[in-house]
Structure 1
Amino acid sequence: MVQKARFKICLLGILCVAFFQVSAQHLISSSNADTWVAKDELGRAIDPANYKNIRKDKYAGIFYFIWQGAHGYDQHKGGAADGGIMPKTPGDTVSPYDITKLLKANPTGPKYGPIHAFHHWGEPYFGYYLADDEWVIRKHAQMLSDAGIDVIILDVTNAAIYLPQLTKIANTYMKMRAEGLSTPSISFIVNSAPKQTVNNLYEQIYKKGLFSNLWFMWKGKPLLLCPPEAVTPEIGNFFTTRHSWAWSKGQEWFADGKDKWPWLDHYPQSYGWHDTKDKAEQVAVSIAQHPMSNIGRSFHNGKQPEIFSTEKGLYFAEQWKRALEVDPEFVFITGWNEWVAMRFNDGASKTFLGKSIEKGETYFVDLYNAEFSRDAEPENGVTKDNYYYQLVDYVRKFKGSGKLPTYKTNASVTIDGKFEDWKKIPAVYKDDSGDTFHRKHPGWGRISEYVNTSGRNDIVESRITSDEQNVYFYVKTKDELTPGNSPDWMHLFIGVKGVGSAGWEGFQYVVNQKLLSNNRATLHSLKKDGKLGKAIAIKYRTSKNELELVIPKNKLGIAGNKFTLDFKWADNSPIDGNAMHWLDKGDTAPNARFAYRYIKE
C-alpha cells in the first residue's frame, strides 16, 4: 500500500480480509496438504495428530500486497497511468534499498535512499521481486493453499486498484485451477477515497463478472471490506460489506464491533460480530505492529523486550492464543508479502523504535527490519521460513486437519520396472503438477532479472508399501524421467519415528545420492548437518516416468510390522544443508519442508 506522509492515515499494511467461501466450501488442497507433517528450523512440529478434525465453518484470510514495483525504484515516482508495474529507467542503478543490509553496513548512520523512496525491510527468499512475476505468484498460491489460507485480501487502501497486477494474479490462479491445483480466493480491502475505489472495483471487475470463480463469498455474496460511506444501495445489494481498519479499543470507527473487521489489534483483540454480540464473526491476528508504536515480532506480555527473539514468533503466538479462545468464523491474518515501506522525515511521527524523534529525522511507518515487519513469507535472514510453518500450525489448530490413514495388510511388489502391481497399493500420496514452472522475470531496480530453470522432473504421485522384510517405494513424474546420472536426481528422504538419531531435518536416510548401475542405487545415512554417512546398495528400477525401489527393513532400523515412517521425494534440490532450497530448487513431493507420513499397524 502506498504510504502517505501523515501518520493518521498510515497505511499500516491493510490486510485484505476477503473471506473466501467458493461454492460455500473450504479451500481443500488438491494434494491433501493438511495431512502433511513438518518441523521448522526451531524444531516445532506440524503433525495431524495434534489437530481437530476439519471444521467446515472456519475460514482464514491473509493480507496480500500487489504494489511491489508500481511506484518507482531508486526514487518514488507516483504511479503508472494504468496502475501497473512502472518501467525501469537507466537511472535505477542503486535500489533495492534493504534496511537490514544498510544497518549492518553502518548501524549508526545507514545510507538510506531518498525521502519517499521505497525500502525493503529485508530480502525476500524469492528475491526482490515485482508483483507481476508469475513464478512468484504461483509459489505464493501453492504455499498459501498448503497453509489452508482460503482468501488473499488485496490491499487497495490507497485508492489504486492495481488492475494489471490483479489481472495477472487472477489469470494465473485460474490457470492453476484449470490444471487441477488449489489457490486461495480473492477479495479486497478499501480505505482511502472509498466511494471512488469501490466504484472502480465494481465497474472494472465485479459488474463485468471478471474472475468470478475466484471471488470470496461471505453470507451468500462477494465479500468487500470498505468504509460504510462507500456502500450505495447497488453496492449493498451486490456485496457483503464489512468495515476494516486498525485497532478497536477506544476507536471511533469500531464502535460496538457490529460489522467491523479489524486487520490489526492489540492483545487481547476485540472481535467483530454480525448477528449477535456474543457470536464472534472475525478476529485479527498479526505478526507484529509497527516500528512507530514499538510493537515488533518479539512483543508479548505487554512489552517490547530489549533483547529480541525475532525468529520465534512470540507476538504471533499470543495473537493466535486470543483468536483460538474467541473461536470466530474468520481469522484475518497480517500478513504475507508487504516487504516495502516509504521513507519519511516530515515530523508527522513523534516516535520511532521506542524513542522520540524530531522533524528531519527518518522514520518508516509500517516496516523497518526483521523485528519490525509483518511478513510470514520466507526471508533470506533471521526469520527464514519459521513464520510460514507457524502460520500453517495455527491455521490447522483453528480450522482442523485431515486425519492420516493407517495400513495393516502386508503387500509386496516386484522391483522389475513393470509397475502393474503398484496399482493395488492403497497408500497413495499426491503432489502438485506444474510446479516445475521456470522463472525469467525482471527484479527490483538494479536487478535486471531473476532466472530459475531448476524445475525438471515434475513429481505427481508417490506410493509406499511393506511386507515382513522390506519397505517398497514408488514415484511417478508427469513426463519421462531424466537420465539417472543427472545432478541431484530423484532423492528419497526417509525418517523412521523412534529409531536412531533425528538425522537431518527429521530424515535419517537419503536414497539415490549415487547410482551404482542401471538397477543399483545407494541408501546413505544422513548426519545432523545434512552430510552423508555410511552407504549400502539397494535395488531400484525405472521405466519412462516411473521409478520403484526396495529397502530392507533392518537397514532402516525397523523391527516388526508396526512402524511410522516419514518420506519425501526431491529432484534437482541440492543436499547442501539448507532445507529452504526445497522451496525453489527443482521439485519436491510434498512441497517445501513437508513430508508424507506412512503409518503401518
Structure 2
Amino acid sequence: MKTLSLILFACIQGLIVYAQADTWVATDALGRKIIPESNGLKKDKYVGVFYFIWHGAHGYDRNIGSNAIQSVRAKELSDTASPYNISEMLIRNPSNPKYGPVGAFHYWGEPYFGYYLSDDEWVIRKHGQMLADAGVDVLILDVTNAAIYLPQVTKIVETFRKMQDEGSIVPKIAFIVNSNPERTVSNLYERIYKKELFKDFWFYWKGKPLLLCPPEALIPEMRAFFSSRQSWAWSKDQDWFEDGKDKWTWLDHTPQSYGWHESKDKPEQISVAVAEHPTTNIGRSFHNGKEPEQKHPERGLYFEEQWKRALQVDPEFVFITGWNEWVAMRFNNGASEEFLGKPIQKGENFFVDLYNDEYSRDAEPVMGAFNDNYYYQMVANIRKFKGSRPVTSNHKTDKIKVDGNFSDWRNVETVFRDDRGDTFHRKHPGWGRIKEYTNVTGRNDIIESRITCDSENVYFYVKTKDALTSWTDKNWMQLFVAIEGNENPHWNGFNFLVNAKPTSKLATDLQLFDGSKWFLQGNIKMNSEGNELELLVPKKMLGIKGQQFTLDFKWSDNSPAQENVMNWLDKGDSAPNGRFAYRFIKK
C-alpha cells in the first residue's frame, strides 16, 4: 500500500533499475539540501494530503452557490473581472484593497500552474506526479461542504489511470466529510463505493476503504464497510475530539494531539499544517508560540514546527494541510471578531481560510513569493517520517565508445527511469477572464538514463520515447552535473552544464558556473541516433580526482531553466522531475 514511487525497485537481467523518488536529491531556493535519509524505508508509514476539487464549480466573478451537477461550471459572458488576487490588490492599495463582491472567491496568490480549474488534465497530471514523487500515498478529497463533485473525481481517477498505464506512480483517493454528513456519506456510498467505482484507486486503512466523517453519518452497513475516522480542526478543549479515539485532526495548534484507534499508547494519526487561519492570526511565520511582526513566509517556520512534533510522535499516518486550496470567500457579516490579529466589526471584510502569502495553507508552488519552497520542505520531512533507501554504491567500471552504436550500454548496471507521457500538452480554460491555458513545450519525452565510468571518463546515456528532434533545437537535451565536495559556486545545486551549445551532432560544450554566469570550460564527444544519445566527459574537466566520487545529474529538454529554474516544473521535460537530480556513487 506504500506509494510505489518509494518502493519500486527491480533487478532486470542484473541491471540496477532506479525508479525511486526517495533516492533523488535536490537543492531548494533557500539552499536547503534534500537528500535520502539513508536508513531504509520504515514499515507502515503513510501520508495523505488535503486536496481540493471545487475550483470553478461555484462561479467566478460571483459566487453562484450550490451546483446541482457539481461539475466545473461553464463561464458566463459577464465573467470578465475574476480571478481576484488578494496579494495583487494589497500591492496596489495596502490600506484599502479593492476586493471583489461579498461571497465571491478570492485567490491568496497565483498558482504556479495558473488559475486552473479542477478538471484540467494537464494540472491533474502535474499534481499526481509531484505528490507521488514526494511520497504522498493518498489525496484526501475535500467534500466537507456536502457536494461530492463526482465529475471532477472521475477526471482525476481517469487521468491517474492513464498515467498508471504509462508506467507512472500515482496516489490513491479518499474523502473527508463534514457538512450535512448523512446525505454526503450516503451520496459517496451509493454513487461510488457500492458500485465499486474507482475501486482500484480507493485508499485502504486497516483493510477497509478509509472515510473521514462524523460517526452519526454511518448506518450499520456503511460502518462495516469503511474504516471511518472523524476529522475536523483542533483538538484541545474541543468536544468533538474527546479523548482522541478514532479522531483525526486535519489542523491543530502546535503541539498537535494525535488520534488513536487500538490504544492511547499507539498514535495512529497526526496533522501537519502549513499555517492556520487569518482569523486566528496563525500564519506561515508563526513559531515559538507567536505570530511575529516581521513575516518570513518563505521559510516555512510553522510548517517545520508542526513536522517536528509529528516526527516526535511518529504515528502511522500524517495528514498534511494542504496542497491546492487557493481561494476563500469574502465575508463582512460579523461572524468573526478578529482578522489578521486585530478586532473587526460587522460590515468589515474578512476571509476565514486564506488571505495572502502569509495566511495561506497551500504547499503547491506559487508564482513568485516562495515559489516551490514548501514542496521541497514537504518532501524532506516526508522522507524523515517514512524513511528512504540509501543510494546504492557502484563498483563496476565500463569503457564506452561514443560512436552512435549503443550496444555497449546494454550491460551498464546503473539505470534510472523517468515518467512516460509527461510531455503531455495543455489546452484548457482557466478561471473567469482567463480564456485558456496552453502549453506545447513538451518535446522529447525522456524515459531512461544510464551512467558509468572508467579510470579517465564519465559516460552518460539518455533515451527518449520517440526519435530525438534535431540537435539544433533550442535548449536541446541539456545535462546538469554536480560533484559532491566541489567547492566551486553552484547554480541551484549544479556546477556544470553540458550541451548548452552543441557544435555538431558529434561534439558539444561543457560549461562551468562561476557564481554569476556559465562559461565555456571545453568541448566533449557526443553522438545520437534515433531515440538514444551518449556523451563522454573527461573526469579532469569535472574536477574528479581518484576513483571514488559522488555525482548528481539531471537531463532537461526544451526547458529554459537558466532563465528561471521553476521552468523545470512545467516546460519541456526533465529527468528526474522539477529540481530533483539522480545520484551516482562510485566506490
Q: Is the 8 A contact 1:272 1:283 kept in 2?
A: yes
Hey, what does 2:29 align to over in structure 1?
41
> In structure 2, how many angstroms separate the alpha carbons of the residues matched to 1:26 and 1:54?
12
Hey, what does 1:542 align to over in structure 2?
528
> In structure 1, how many angstroms separate the alpha carbons of the residues matched to 2:94 and 2:73?
32
Q: Assess, with a 3 A threshold, how the Cα gap between structure 1 residues 355 and 51 changes in structure 2: closer, same or farther.
A: farther
Hey, what does 2:271 align to over in structure 1?
284
Hey, what does 1:63 align to over in structure 2?
50
How far 1:26 moved relative to its partner? 8.7
SS at 1:364's partner residue? coil
1:205 aligned onto 2:154: no
> In structure 1, how many angstroms separate the alpha carbons of the residues matched to 2:39 and 2:307?
16
Hey, what does 1:345 align to over in structure 2?
332
Equivalent position to 1:464, from 451, 469, 474: 451
Equivalent position to 1:532, from 511, 514, 518: 518
> In structure 2, how many angstroms separate the alpha carbons of the residues matched to 1:206 and 1:93?
39
1:586 aligned onto 2:572: yes
Hey, what does 2:396 align to over in structure 1?
409
Q: Assess, with a 3 A threshold, how the Cα gap between structure 1 residues 29 and 586 changes in structure 2: closer, same or farther.
A: farther
CA deviation map 1:87-139 (0-9, x unaligned): 10111111000000000011011110000000000000000000000000000
Equivalent position to 1:595, from 551, 558, 581: 581
> In structure 1, how many angstroms separate the alpha carbons of the residues matched to 2:440 and 2:278?
38
AA of the residue aligned to 1:447: I
Q: Assess, with a 3 A threshold, how the Cα gap between structure 1 residues 507 and 25 changes in structure 2: closer, same or farther.
A: closer
1:115 aligned onto 2:106: no
Hey, what does 1:127 align to over in structure 2?
114
Q: Is the 8 A contact 1:257 1:273 kept in 2?
A: yes
Which segments of structure 1 move beyond 4 Å, counting only runs of 4 or more? Answer: 24-27
SS at 2:534's partner residue? strand
> In structure 1, how many angstroms separate the alpha carbons of the residues matched to 2:301 and 2:554?
30
CA deviation map 1:264-315 (0-9, x unaligned): 1011111000001111000011010000000000001100000011000100
SS at 2:91's partner residue? helix
1:336 aligned onto 2:330: no
> In structure 1, how many angstroms separate the alpha carbons of the residues matched to 2:390 and 2:147?
43
**1:481-500 to 2 correspondences below 5 Å:** 481-500=468-487
Q: Assess, with a 3 A threshold, how the Cα gap between structure 1 residues 232 and 26 changes in structure 2: closer, same or farther.
A: farther
How far 1:77 moved relative to its partner? 0.7
Hey, what does 2:140 align to over in structure 1?
153
Hey, what does 2:431 align to over in structure 1?
444
AA of the residue aligned to 1:113: G
1:324 aligned onto 2:311: yes
How far 1:528 moved relative to its partner? 3.1
**1:489-568 to 2 correspondences below 5 Å:** 489-529=476-516, 531-568=517-554
Q: Is the 8 A contact 2:521 2:541 kept in 1?
A: no
> In structure 1, how many angstroms separate the alpha carbons of the residues matched to 2:8 and 2:185?
31
Which ranges of structure 1 fall in alignment gaps of 5 or more residues?
1-20
AA of the residue aligned to 1:542: S
1:73 aligned onto 2:56: no
**1:388-407 to 2 correspondences below 5 Å:** 388-407=375-394
> In structure 1, how many angstroms separate the alpha carbons of the residues matched to 2:6 and 2:406?
33
AA of the residue aligned to 1:156: V
AA of the residue aligned to 1:518: K
CA deviation map 1:197-256 (0-9, x unaligned): 000000110111111010000011000000010111011111010000000011000000
SS at 1:245's partner residue? strand
1:478 aligned onto 2:465: yes
Q: Is the 8 A contact 1:27 1:182 kept in 2?
A: no
Q: Assess, with a 3 A threshold, how the Cα gap between structure 1 residues 176 and 599 changes in structure 2: closer, same or farther.
A: same
SS at 2:566's partner residue? helix
Q: Assess, with a 3 A threshold, how the Cα gap between structure 1 residues 464 and 299 changes in structure 2: closer, same or farther.
A: same
AA of the residue aligned to 1:565: L
Which ranges of structure 2 fall in alignment gaps of 5 or more residues?
10-18
**1:413-424 to 2 correspondences below 5 Å:** 413-424=400-411
How far 1:80 moved relative to its partner? 3.2
> In structure 2, how many angstroms separate the alpha carbons of the residues matched to 1:508 and 1:466?
19
Q: Is the 8 A contact 2:5 2:22 kept in 1?
A: no
AA of the residue aligned to 1:340: V
Higher mean alpha-carbon deviation, 353-362 vs 77-86, is at 77-86
> In structure 2, how many angstroms separate the alpha carbons of the residues matched to 1:526 and 1:69?
44
Hey, what does 2:346 align to over in structure 1?
359
> In structure 2, how many angstroms separate the alpha carbons of the residues matched to 1:120 and 1:281?
34
Q: Assess, with a 3 A threshold, how the Cα gap between structure 1 residues 27 and 230 changes in structure 2: closer, same or farther.
A: farther
Q: Assess, with a 3 A threshold, how the Cα gap between structure 1 residues 447 and 527 changes in structure 2: closer, same or farther.
A: farther
Q: Is the 8 A contact 1:26 1:59 kept in 2?
A: no
How far 1:79 moved relative to its partner? 3.6
Q: Is the 8 A contact 1:27 1:149 kept in 2?
A: no
Q: Is the 8 A contact 2:6 2:135 kept in 1?
A: yes
> In structure 2, how many angstroms separate the alpha carbons of the residues matched to 1:368 and 1:286?
16
AA of the residue aligned to 1:152: L
Q: Is the 8 A contact 2:525 2:536 kept in 1?
A: yes
Q: Is the 8 A contact 2:5 2:21 kept in 1?
A: no
**1:188-199 to 2 correspondences below 5 Å:** 188-199=175-186
AA of the residue aligned to 1:36: W
SS at 2:216's partner residue? helix
> In structure 2, how many angstroms separate the alpha carbons of the residues matched to 1:302 and 1:513?
49
Q: Percent identity?
A: 62
AA of the residue aligned to 1:311: E
SS at 2:491's partner residue? coil
1:175 aligned onto 2:162: yes
How far 1:484 moved relative to its partner? 0.4
Higher mean alpha-carbon deviation, 333-342 vs 408-417, is at 408-417
> In structure 1, how many angstroms separate the alpha carbons of the residues matched to 2:8 and 2:115?
28
SS at 1:254's partner residue? coil
Q: Is the 8 A contact 1:189 1:244 kept in 2?
A: yes
> In structure 2, how many angstroms separate the alpha carbons of the residues matched to 1:551 and 1:270?
53
CA deviation map 1:163-185 (0-9, x unaligned): 11111001111111111111000
AA of the residue aligned to 2:49: I
> In structure 1, how many angstroms separate the alpha carbons of the residues matched to 2:282 and 2:460?
49
SS at 1:393's partner residue? helix
How far 1:532 moved relative to its partner? 2.0
Hey, what does 2:207 align to over in structure 1?
220
Hey, what does 2:72 align to over in structure 1?
85
How far 1:28 moved relative to its partner? 3.8
AA of the residue aligned to 1:213: D
TM-score, normalised relative to structure 2: 0.97
Higher mean alpha-carbon deviation, 225-234 vs 408-417, is at 408-417
Hey, what does 1:7 align to over in structure 2?
none
Hey, what does 2:557 align to over in structure 1?
571
Equivalent position to 1:295, from 257, 274, 282: 282
Equivalent position to 2:20, from 17, 27, 32: 32
CA deviation map 1:456-496 (0-9, x unaligned): 00000001111111110000000000000011000000111
Q: Is the 8 A contact 2:6 2:20 kept in 1?
A: no
AA of the residue aligned to 2:23: T
> In structure 1, how many angstroms separate the alpha carbons of the residues matched to 2:61 and 2:305?
37
Q: Is the 8 A contact 2:6 2:22 kept in 1?
A: no
SS at 1:363's partner residue? coil
AA of the residue aligned to 2:296: S
Hey, what does 1:5 align to over in structure 2?
none
AA of the residue aligned to 1:39: T
How far 1:499 moved relative to its partner? 2.0
AA of the residue aligned to 1:299: F
Give the number of equivalent residue pairs: 578
Hey, what does 2:300 align to over in structure 1?
313
